[in-house]
Chains A and B, each alone.
Chain A
Amino acid sequence: MSGQASSAPKGGPNWILLIVGGLAILGFLGLLAFGFGEDEQETVFSERPAPDFELEDLDGKLQKLSGQDKPVVLNFWATWCVPCKAEHPVLLQNASLYPDVQFFGVLYGDNPAKARAYLKGAGSAYPTLMDPTGAIAAAYGVTGVPETFFIDDTQVMRYRHNGPVDMNVMDYGLKAIR
């Protein structure tokens, strides 16, 4: 027994290790709490002026955001994107239901000829813009398609949605801008 007691570690070094370990754990927990605790992608860049654009549509007509006097729905899409095709009827329906809102599609990383062919078959109710350099997509912070932005008539972005839209998403976004 006495041999065990005499070989026990002394207090000083253990305290140092405890403090260092505690700091490391606190730092890690802090990272978890503040670094990964919220999805900033959903909130960033809303409630700000939408980046202006001046792009040619598939019919060769120039379209500008700044010239619009009504709310805008801006939908980034591509023909190679299956969810984009799934949401297309929803967008067509809403574009017909809300003539007081200007809908635009923006072609993302795709060939205009393919887009024309697709729209010929699937139907088209609003202009599709070409963004050949991808600069407009990057200006809006698009990371993939489909992605839809709801911009009010003062060109302030009110809502953005990653992924395909459905009627609920459209209701929510349109209420924010109309």
Chain B
Amino acid sequence: MTWMLLAVLALSPTAQAEVPLTDPPMCEAVPDHLLDEATDDLGRELACPICAGQSVSGSQTPVALGMKAIIREALAMGYCPEQISDYFVLVYGDDVVLDPSKRGNSALVWLPLLGVLVGFVGAGIWWVRQPKTPVDPPEAEPETVDNEDPYQAQVLRELDE
């Protein structure tokens, strides 16, 4: 019943999503038959702000549904995906973009990866430059004669006598 009511409201003209972007649209309007796909594509690039590791497309939370409504409406009006992403970055911060930006403070998240890369290269150089010491063959163990058997020794002694 609740969802039926919400669906009726969503279809009513007064419930149309408001596009909060104020700059003029910079792209071609996405035609109706491609809107779902285009909305889903951009939704996959944006993180649901209240979910753990879920994209906007993959989430059914009120926030994600609201973001999808804005994306759809904005694409239909001719806003570029970048313009829409920039708006959500303004509202929710850099973390809303699933592929972190390589500029500004977000570039810092790439530092550990760079550190690991430099570490591997450094370790490789260190390994190549290690002095190759010749490997000595293992010393052959001296042959031991098993003549410690006390019984055998006693027999030998008695035979000698």
Are A27 and B129 also in contact (CB < 8 A) when A108-B62, A133-B65, A138-B69 are? no
Majority secondary structure, B binding face: helix
CB distance from A127 to the nearest CB of B (A): 14
A44 is contacted by which of B6, B9, B91, B111 (Cβ under 8 Å)?
B91
Q: Which residue of A lies closest to B22 (CB)?
A: A49
Which residues 1-53 of B sit at the A interface, judged by CB distance below 8 A?
2, 5-6, 9-10, 12, 14-18, 20, 22, 49-50
Q: Quick check: which of B117-125, B134-142, B144-152 contacts chain A, the rest being far away?
A: B117-125
Which A residues lie within 8 Å of B130 (CB)? 13
Q: Give how many B residues have a beta carbon under 8 Å from the other chain's beta carbons.
A: 43
Q: Which residue of B lies closest to A130 (CB)?
A: B9
Hey, what's the 0/1 contact readout for B68-110 against A, CB within 8 Å counting as 1? Answer: 0110010000000000000000111100000000000100110
Q: Does A17 reach chain B (CB closer than 8 Å)?
A: yes
- 27 of the cross-chain contacts (CB-CB < 8 Å) are A13-B129, A13-B130, A16-B122, A16-B125, A17-B126, A19-B122, A20-B122, A23-B115, A27-B114, A31-B112, A54-B14, A111-B2, A113-B5, A131-B66, A132-B9, A133-B15, A134-B62, A134-B65, A134-B67, A135-B66, A137-B62, A137-B66, A138-B67, A139-B66, A139-B70, A142-B63, A143-B49
* Interface contacts beyond A35-B108, A111-B5, A135-B73: sample of 10 additional A-B pairs, CB < 8 Å, sorted by A: A12-B129, A20-B115, A31-B109, A52-B18, A111-B2, A134-B66, A139-B18, A139-B20, A141-B49, A143-B50
User: Which A residues have a C-beta under 8 Å from some C-beta of B?
Assistant: 12-13, 16-17, 19-20, 23-24, 27-28, 30-31, 34-35, 40-41, 44-45, 48-49, 51-56, 62, 108-109, 111-113, 130-144
User: Which B residues have a C-beta under 8 Å from some C-beta of A?
Assistant: 2, 5-6, 9-10, 12, 14-18, 20, 22, 49-50, 61-63, 65-67, 69-70, 73, 90-93, 105, 108-109, 111-112, 114-116, 118-119, 122, 125-126, 129-130
